[in-house]
Amino acid sequence: MNNLEHINCPICEGDETELLFNKHSLSVVACKQCRLRYVNPRVSRHTLEENYVETYYPPEKVKRIHTDTMEWLQMAERLAELEAQLPSKGHLLDVGCGIGTFLHLAQENGWQPYGIDPSRSGIAFAQEIHQLDVRCGDIFDANFPTAHFDAITAYHVLEHISELNPFLAEIRRILKPPGDEKKAGKLVIEVPNGGSLQSRLQKADWPYVHPQDHLYYFSARSLPKLLRKHGFHHITLGRPRRVSPKIGLRFALRQAATAMLVRFHLGTVIRVYAS
């Protein structure tokens, strides 16, 4: 494969790894020092961005997402948990806001929403349909003011970010600083759980293993470690809940099973709140 780059572990900077498995001609390794699982070597940043930007929200997909009940239920679930963590509403930035469903709900609930996403079609939809203040690009292009946001959310974004440490340093800069606990800004990160039961059982066959653009497979241990490196010291794990348009006994049982897995950090995703 062309355009591959070798990286040191983005958490501890170590370069001793063990091979976990190969998929699509790429290797997923574990850092011997801190156990972060990541793709190494990986597709270089330039190639990655070219591939990502206009394939994630092709125009015909945008309408389908917008009318999908699951999309709305999922975004409402995310917002409800954020509001339980942070009762006062203020400036909210959603990194990777896609077509803007989450920000639209947040705005209805009294937040002042901002969004950023590399997808032109996603951003155009969020502007036209939801009239949101959103920009196309990455977080560095936006150049937001220092200590500005009360909350920054990044759902299923971090595993795509090649410049992981500069990205988190920029988030830390634009989020209100810790100190006065009532005013401290809150960062919410959700990623596929590389330590989930499903990933342990399925290894390379786990559907989230997509080494071209899912560059890291964080766990409930490695993600807090990375955040502490960037000055986040108050870190708690969220309890993402399963949602469904159909409720009944079958759903209740599946929801209970999900809740049990999440409790032991074995759920499909991990969500952390950090300040």
Binding site for Zn ion (CB under 5 A): 9, 11-12, 14, 31, 33-34, 36
Instruction: Tell me how far, at minimum, the Cβ of 114 lies from Zn ion, in Å.
Output: 33
Instruction: Tell me how far, at minimum, the Cβ of 40 lies from Zn ion, in Å.
Output: 11
Nearer to Zn ion, 31 or 188 (CB): 31
Nearer to Zn ion, 33 or 107 (CB): 33
Distance CA 119, CA 104 (A): 17
Give the tokens for residue 227.
């955040």
Instruction: Tell me how far, at minimum, the Cβ of 274 lies from Zn ion, in Å.
Output: 19
DSSP reduced 3-state for 201: helix
Which residue(s) pair with 153 in the sheet? Answer: 94, 188
Instruction: Tell me how far, at minimum, the Cβ of 30 lies from Zn ion, in Å.
Output: 9
Nearer to Zn ion, 27 or 198 (CB): 27
Computed on alpha carbons and rounded to an integer, the radius of gyration of the chain in Å comes to: 18
DSSP secondary structure letters along 33-102 = TT--EEESSEE-HHHHHHHHHTTSS-HHHHHHHHT-HHHHHHHHHHHHHHHHH--S--EEEEET-TTSHH
Nearer to Zn ion, 37 or 130 (CB): 37
Distance CA 163, CA 5 (A): 13
Instruction: Tell me how far, at minimum, the Cβ of 13 lies from Zn ion, in Å.
Output: 7
DSSP reduced 3-state for 22: strand
Nearer to Zn ion, 10 or 211 (CB): 10
Distance CA 11, CA 33 (A): 10
Distance CA 98, CA 126 (A): 8
Instruction: Tell me how far, at minimum, the Cβ of 226 lies from Zn ion, in Å.
Output: 10
Nearer to Zn ion, 4 or 34 (CB): 34
Which residue(s) pair with 5 in the sheet? Answer: 42
Instruction: Tell me how far, at minimum, the Cβ of 217 lies from Zn ion, in Å.
Output: 13
* Of residues 189, 194, 265, the one with CA closest to residue 228: 189
Nearer to Zn ion, 79 or 226 (CB): 226
